[in-house]
Amino acid sequence: MYARTDKYPRLPALALRQRGVARRSQIVECGPSYDFIDHQVAAQRWRRYGRQTVLLQNAPPTRVQLMWIAVLDADPYAALASHTALEEAGFRGFAAEAERVHVVVERGAHYAGLPGIQVHESRRFCPDDIRLAPGIPRVSCARAAIDAGAWQRWPRFACAMMAAVVQQGMCTAQQLEDELDTCGAIRHRRYMQLALRDVTDGAHSLGELDVGRLCRRHGLQPPVRQRLRKDPAGRIRYLDCEWELPNGEIVVLEIDGQHHMDVEHWTADMKRERKIVIGRRWVLRASTVEVRLDAAELAADLIAMGVPRVVSNY
């Protein structure tokens, strides 16, 4: 129970729903007067944040409460955006990029600058863009991912975001493509479109996106990605990239990120590779750094293994 809310029947429900955060006007609609609110703030039972938001406690806000403050304090409306909207929807990863609370408002909206909150003004933001339930108001996962990519400096991050949200089931590649079609001129748009071409074919990581770029650059047929196979023990395995050669043999390329260097992953990868080889497949391994920086040498090795080239129609 939040302090001084028990005398007004509707106020505890509002406080519970919004994690102890409310606009002054919302509190008044539940019964208390503005003078009552000011008295609680002066008595240091409640805290006031921004232009019109009150935290119904005297302790600093939690991260979830800061999210509520961010969306409630802007006028006329706001929603969680970018990494924060994805976080609220259950996205995992890119923690270093998600420290600040990102919120989007319409161009010209009124809002206060608050520590830890990054406000983005947008000409293409309207009430129809807000997902109201469940939880804190936010934009769709597709828009959040596109904005997260466009608001970053580096195009590779934007490409990684496209793969990550699809891999985690936050949205589909088609939803991302539809969002890109309607968002107008934004930073890294072309890079994200190219990334989605590979994501649609099954790429689930930045390394796999780089393989798609490698194949286009060196004229190789694109691989089948994330193909489901059963090992000799009957366990389900997903292979990063796979080519079926004209002679019927199969070449598998596994892309190892930095975490694969850890002893735990390294041992598991060796066991997994043995099972793939027992299944009569050729396995090649490459690090994400090698795919990115030594693409020509890796392409030469794939060609030497017999990976087919793209047949030109001209």
How confident is the model over 110-160, as pLDDT tens digits? 898 899 999 999 998 999 999 987 789 999 999 999 999 999 888 878 888
C-alpha to C-alpha distance for 114 and 117, rounded to whole angstroms: 6
Question: Could you tell me which residue, 280 or 202, shows the higher pLDDT?
Answer: 280
Domain extent listing, the chain: 1-60, 218-304
Q: Where are the beta strands (DSSP E) in the chain?
A: 21-23, 47-49, 53-55, 78-80, 101-106, 117-122, 224-230, 236-244, 250-256, 282-287
* Rg, Å, the chain Cα set: 25
Q: Residue 60: its pLDDT value, please?
A: 94
Is it the case that residue 218 has pLDDT exceeding 70?
Answer: yes
pLDDT score of 81 more than 90: yes
Interval 285-312 mean pLDDT: 83
* 3-state secondary structure at position 270: helix
Sheet holding 117-122, edge to edge: 78-80, 101-106, 117-122
The model scores a pTM over 0.85:
no
Residue 13 has pLDDT above 90, yes or no: yes
The pair of three-digit structure tokens given for residue 167, joined into one six-digit string: 């891999």
- For 90: left if phi > 0, alpha if psi spans -120 to 50, otherwise beta; the answer is left
Q: Which of 44, 49, 52, 45 is nearest to 27 (CA)?
A: 52
Least confident segment among 11-25, 111-125, 159-173: 159-173
Grade residue 314 by pLDDT with cuts at 50, 70 and 90.
very low
Give the separation between CA 131 and CA 140, rounded to whole angstroms: 6
Is residue 259's pLDDT more than 90? no
pLDDT digits (tens, 9 = 90+) for 188-214: 988 888 778 767 655 555 667 778 888
Contact predicate 240/249, CB 8 Å: no
- The angle formed by the CA atoms of residues 37, 41 and 45, to the nearest 5 degrees, is 105
- What does the CA dihedral 77, 82, 88, 89 come to, rounded to 10 degrees? 110
Q: Which of 107, 214, 197, 102 is nearest to 152 (CA)?
A: 102
pLDDT of residue 261: 39
Q: Is the pLDDT of residue 49 over 90?
A: yes
Task: Report, as an integer, the average pLDDT of 90-119.
Answer: 86
pLDDT, position 258: 44
What the block records as the tokens of 262 is: 């850890």
Percent of the chain residues past pLDDT 90, beyond the cut: 46
Is the pLDDT at 236 greater than 60? The verdict is no
Q: What integer is the mean pLDDT of 70-84? A: 94
